Amino acid sequence: MKTTLSITLLALAASLLCDAVQVKEGEFTFSLESVKKLKDLMDKDLEGKQSPRLAKASTATVCSDPALLPEFLPVCRSDRAGLSLSRLAFIGLNYDECEICMFAACTGC
């Protein structure tokens, strides 16, 4: 019984720590999981488009997508939406570095 309780508590603590990584982009802060979802959404919207000149159009597409998490709407309304979203997508692509620093007192990536 004690072993089962201990394992359950450890699993709960591990799941809470996984959400502890926060990504800062300017004045905005997001969970790493949300940034991964944004990256997936941007990948879906940019499928088949290779040109970096389409970044402005892709920002409008991503920001108007109903699947966009509401926490990213303030970024979409900001003046630097395209740049911020591309940086967040880059972090979503290279999230391993953020997960490595999770236990080393990181406050963000």
CB 41 within 8 A of CB 65: yes
> Coil, strand or helix: which one is 20?
coil
> Coil, strand or helix: which one is 22?
strand
The per-residue pLDDT for 98 is: 65
Rounded mean pLDDT for each run of 10 residues along the chain, 109 residues in total:
68 55 85 88 67 58 90 92 87 71 50
The H or E element containing residue 24 is strand 22-25
The per-residue pLDDT for 74 is: 94
| Separation of alpha carbons 86 and 48, rounded Å | 17
| Separation of alpha carbons 12 and 37, rounded Å | 22
For the chain, which domains are there?
21-103 (3.90.1450.10)
CB 91 within 8 A of CB 109: yes
> pTM (2 decimals)?
0.64
> Coil, strand or helix: which one is 28?
strand
Interhelix angle 55-64/81-93, rounded to 10 degrees, is 80
